[in-house]
Amino acid sequence: MVRYKAVLSLGFLIVLTFSSTSTKAFHNDIYYPRVPEDLLEIIQDMDNPFPPTRKNIKEGSNVYFGKGLCVKCHGVKGKGIEVSGHSPRNFTDPKWQNIRTDGEMMWVLKNGSPGTSMPIRVGKVISEEEGWKVILFIRSFAGV
Ligand code: HEC
């Protein structure tokens, strides 16, 4: 029985070690970049190819409330709902809106945010074009 317990706790230790390495890109500070350092400069400079026209923002909102399922975690007002673990981003935070570029958001849509429940969206449930448009919609939460 004692030996069984020892094996169990060793297993637990291994799980802990592995889960901490898989959370490498994750940072507790919400303002800290989610994009790995070696890519950051290029990704930050990527422009949104779609202009923030009323039509594009509306299409982005359809993705947010529809097949992107963003609303499930980020909420109707963009403030983020309460979940266990790391909170979904509050898009109404002006400091975060200022710091993050559209390119960085696209990276998160394509890769998820490792170590959090933010899932991969572009390439799985929405197209790249829909991704850029939902980013335009996220910008509309700024200053709300
Ligand atoms: C299952 C819950 C969940 C869903 C669904 C979800 N998100 Fe998130 N999202 C999160 C969490 C949790 C975070 C915080 C991650 C972090 O701090 O790194 C986050 C963070 C983000 C960020 C901020 C990343 C950064 O660089 O600070 C963006 C942008 C984002 N989500 C966009 C979206 C969009 C757009 C959709 C829908 C297409 C979506 N999310 C769907 C949970 C979710």
Cα–Cα dist 22/65, whole Å: 30
Residue 11: which pLDDT band, with cuts at 50, 70 and 90?
low
104 close to ligand 1 (CB < 6 Angstrom): yes
pLDDT tens digit string along 117-133? 999 999 999 999 999 99
Contact 92, 142 (CB under 8 A): yes
Contact in structure between 135 and 47 (CB atoms under 8 Å): no
Q: What is the pLDDT, as a whole number, of residue 138?
A: 98
Could you identify the atom of ligand 1 that is nearest to the CA of residue 68?
38
Residue 121 CA: nearest ligand 1 atom is: 38
Q: Ligand 1 center to residue 12 CA distance, Å?
A: 29
pLDDT digits (tens, 9 = 90+) for 24-50: 556 889 999 999 999 999 999 999 999
Nearest protein Cα to ligand 1, atom 38: 68
pTM here is: 0.86
Task: Please state which CATH number belongs to domain 28-139.
Answer: 1.10.760.10
